[in-house]
Amino acid sequence: MERVRFNNCLNKETKYWNLPFGALVGCGFIGGISALAKGVLWGFGGGAIGFIAGSIIARGWWNGSLQRFVYWNLPVSKVLLSNKIPQSHIRTLM
C-alpha cells in the first residue's frame, strides 16, 4: 500500500476574519434572538455566550467527534446515512 499524503489546508477549520465560522454563527444566532427578546444589552451577552458555544460545537464538528456521535448514537442517522458513506476501509484513507 502506498503512502497517502494529505493537503494541510483541507484539514483546517473555516475561518472568517480569523474567527471560527461556527463561533460567528452561534454569536449571531443567539445574540440576535436574545436582542429581539430582551434588548440590545442582553443581545451582547447572548452573543458572547453564543460565540463560546458555537466555537465548542464547531471544534467538535471539525475534529470529527460530533459527526461520529451523531452517526453512532442517533437511530435515524444510520438508516439515512448508511447508503451515502464509504466503506470502512475507504474511510480510513479520507
The answer as to whether 8 is a domain residue is no
The answer to whether 29 and 35 have CB atoms below 8 angstroms apart is no
The answer as to whether 65 is a domain residue is yes
Supply the pLDDT for residue 52: 93
The answer as to whether 9 is a domain residue is no
This prediction has a pTM of 0.64
Grid cell, residue 66, equals 460530533
Number of structural domains (the chain) is: 1
- Render pLDDT for 7-65 as a digit per residue (tens, 0 to 9): 555 567 777 888 888 889 999 999 999 999 999 999 999 999 999 999 998 888 888 77
The answer as to whether 12 is a domain residue is no
The answer as to whether 6 is a domain residue is no
3-state secondary structure of 35: helix
Of 13, 8, 24, the closest CA to residue 63 belongs to 13
pLDDT, mean of residues 69-81: 69
Supply the pLDDT for residue 8: 57
Higher pLDDT, 84 or 17: 17
Identify the domain containing residue 40 by its residue range. Answer: 17-91
Supply the pLDDT for residue 34: 93
Single-letter amino acid, residue 84: K
The answer as to whether 77 is a domain residue is yes
Indicate if the alpha-carbon torsion angle 38, 41, 46, 47 is positive or negative: positive
The answer as to whether 1 is a domain residue is no
The answer as to whether 80 is a domain residue is yes
